[in-house]
Every structure is written in C-alpha cells, then in structure tokens.
Amino acid sequence: MSFLQEKIAQAKLLLKEFSVDCWLTYVRETGLNGDPILPYLIDSDVTWHSAFIITARGESVAIVGSLERAAILDTHAYDRVEGYVKSFSDPFLAYLKELNPQSIAVNYSVESEICDGLTHGMYLHLRELLASIGMAERLCPAERIISALRQRKSFSEIAVMKEAIRRTLEIYEEVRAEIKPGISEKALAEFMQERVRAAGATFAWDPGTCPSVFTGPETAGAHYGPTDRLVERGHVVNMDFGVKWEGYCSDLQRTYYIRREGEVDAPEPVRRGFATIVRSIEAARSVLHPGVQGIAVDTAARSILTTAGYEEFPHALGHQVGRFAHDGTALLAPAWEKYGAKPFEPIEEGMVFTIEPRLTVPGFGVVTIEEMVLVGARGAEYLSSPQKELYVI
C-alpha cells in the first residue's frame, strides 16, 4: 500500500470515529496556493478548481480538471476520479446530491494553521455553490480529521522520521570536530549544509536559519540565522538543526562548551544549567502520556527551571514534527494567548513531539537541548539519542 493509499484509508476510519459524513478538501492553483494537507491526498499540484472527497461510507472521490485526471488516477488512491473541461460545478454538485451528506467538513480552522488551507475567496465560492443545492449550512471545519490524520503517525511514517533523525545526529557528530575557537557561526552552518547536500537530504526548514548557530552571550538565541560572530573560549555554543528525508523532518538542538585555557571542564554555572535542562526534559517525558493535555507537560518542564532559579523560557516546550518541522495541532505549551486552545488538546498515541526547554547562563550563553519523542500507549520514548552530557570542546 502506498503512502497516499495508507492515509486515505486512515481518513475513512476517522470520518466514522468523528461522525462526519464527508470530508472535502477544496483547492485551486496549488503550486501557488497550496494547502498543508495536500501531500496526504495527492502527489502533484492541480491547476483548476478541484475537490478531494472522503466519505464515511468508505468512498474516495476526486473531481479535477480533465488534463490532471491521469495524474490522480496514477496514485491508485481514489475510487472515482472525474475530469471536467468547462464546468467544475456540474460534476461536483451532482456527486454531493448523490451523497447527500448532513455534515461536510472542509479545510479551514480558526485554531490550527495545519488545517486552514482554504482561502477566504474559495470559501465564499464553495458556500455559493452549496447554497444552490441547499447544503451551505452543512459546512463545518475539518480540524479534527486533519489533525488526527497528521498526528497519528503510521509505522511507515515513523520509520522515515527515524532515518531523518539518524542523518541529523550523524551530521551533528561530524560538525563537533569542526567547532573550535576562531571559527564563525556561518562557517559551522555552511559545513552542516554541505553535509546535508552530500547526504542527498534537504533542509527541515528555511536554509537561512537551518541550521541556526549561536555562540556566546548576548546572541539572538533562536529563530535567527548564523552570523560572522566567532566562537571564543568560554562560550556556550548551541545549534538548532534538522533535515527532511523522503518528505519527513527532524528537529534537534545540541549544546557545547568551549574550554578556556587551563580549564579541564565547563564552569559550574554552565554544568548546573545543562543538568537542569536534562532534568527538565526527563520531567516532561515522564508526564507525556495519551490523554494528558500539553499544558501539563509544559508545566512539568517549566517548573524545574523556575524552581532552580532560572527565568522561564519564552516559548512552548515542544511542538509536533511530521512533514513540517512544526506540524500538528496539539502543543506542549503554557496557557498563553498566542497558543490559543492548542495546549489543551489531549495527547494521542502516535504523536511525535520535540521537547526543548532553554535557559541562559549569564556571561556564557544559552543552554538548550531539543529531543524528539514518540508517544506510545505507555508513555513517550526517545526517537533521538538524547544528549545527557555537555559536549566540552
């Protein structure tokens, strides 16, 4: 079974689980205005108005421009593929009248960006079409279906993600030998990017910040590209990096300390900060079980830092990873306005999360680790080989 067949079969079961009659993904010109869910439904772009419909009665139907029908047929993922030349509305409305769904979940969401691919113009057009057959008021957001489809990773998805993680850790080992006083953040980043290309992989996010490399105190700290700043003795160096392999991402961070002349180990404040981060990650992992809300996991990690006297980190503890480095609706996060309802989503088996607390050691830099974990029936297990010891250079 191909990936598309696997996920569409999963979607059919989700419609029954959530008691939704029909899931409709409505798009056009996807090369320009793609929807985040499309890689789960097709493996090419479409030009004209197109509908991809999954039903609770177990049907998968695609209605596309006639010149794109062959590409959709080649996926062997749809029970029916209808091509049109002049009118999308004719086959589309005919099928909906035949199906007569009482609920039509469509690709929009107020809370989740991964479920919100429908443009406002397309939404208005869809309502106009459905109003002509008395179905406009049957629309509802497809957030639950799309979230579950992305979040509940299959065995094959996990296998690919493990390979992306393995390749990321391999490059982290290679760059470790390059870290030395006098080398710039940019030079380290360029070395890692060259290793990505040599491995035949791509970057998990924008290569302008993948990897991010930060050395010493008073850096941007996160979400910023590498600079000409040089690594110096007494610096903490941290990196944020991931690769994309066969469509799936990794996202890991590692921390290093550059010894001063005469030092045999990192200073006590750096060692204490690093040990606190390790304890914070383990505290979070121990709480991360199916049914728990993400806010509880974030609180477990955050309280370790604040109890130890550090300021709380200014971001969520962890996000889901999948076909994007930031993927999924549920979030390990505090109840801050910018996170909306995401911290209160229940954790489900099959989700893959990062756990990434951080703290600042004044005068040295930012100490952080980012690991990836898979939520299983009995809790979370590492997908990455966790950094338990500070790398001293």
Query: Check: CATH 3.40.50.300 for 3-150?
Result: no
Beta carbons within 8 Å of 195's beta carbon, 6+ residues apart? 171, 174, 175
**Confidence bin at 42 (pLDDT 50/70/90):** very high
DSSP 8-state class, residue 293: B
How confident is the model at residue 1, as a pLDDT? Answer: 81
In the numeric block, the tokens 């870290």 are attached to 179
- The whole-number average pLDDT for the span 320-347 is 97
* Residue range 286-309, pLDDT digits in tens: 999 999 999 999 999 999 999 999
CATH of 152-392, one of 2.60.40.1730, 2.40.50.140, 3.90.230.10, 3.40.50.10310: 3.90.230.10
* Residue range 81-130, pLDDT digits in tens: 999 999 999 999 999 999 999 999 999 999 999 999 999 999 999 999 99
Write out the two tokens for 18. Answer: 């959530």
How confident is the model at residue 222, as a pLDDT? Answer: 85
Write out the two tokens for 136. Answer: 């406009």
Write out the two tokens for 338. Answer: 């910018």
Beta carbons within 8 Å of 194's beta carbon, 6+ residues apart? none
**HEC letters along 306-365:** HHCCCCCCCCCCEEECCCCCCEEEEEECCCCHHHCCHHHCECCCCCEEEECCEEEECCCE
Beta carbons within 8 Å of 290's beta carbon, 6+ residues apart? 346, 347, 348, 349, 375, 377
Per-residue pLDDT at 244 exceeds 90:
yes
Report the distance separating Cα 79 and Cα 54, nearest Å. 10
Mean pLDDT of the chain: 97
> Based on the number of CB atoms within 10 Å of its own CB, is 57 exposed (0-12), middle (13-18) or buried (19 or more)?
exposed
Are residues 347 and 375 in contact, defined by beta-carbon separation less than 8 angstroms? yes
Per-residue pLDDT at 330 exceeds 90:
yes
Residue type, 265: D
- The whole-number average pLDDT for the span 365-386 is 97
Write out the two tokens for 16. Answer: 């029954």
Q: Structure pTM?
A: 0.95
In the numeric block, the tokens 């850790």 are attached to 169
DSSP string, 227-291: -SPBP-TT-EEEEEE-EEETTEE--EEEEEE-PPTT-SS--HHHHHHHHHHHHHHHHHHHH--TT
DSSP 8-state class, residue 50: E
* Residue range 168-226, pLDDT digits in tens: 999 999 999 999 999 999 999 999 999 999 999 999 999 999 999 999 998 887 889 99
Report the distance separating Cα 135 and Cα 97, nearest Å. 9
Compare 314 and 221 and report the one with higher pLDDT. Answer: 314
Per-residue pLDDT at 13 exceeds 90:
yes
Give residue limits of the domains in the chain. 3-150, 152-392
Write out the two tokens for 161. Answer: 């993600």
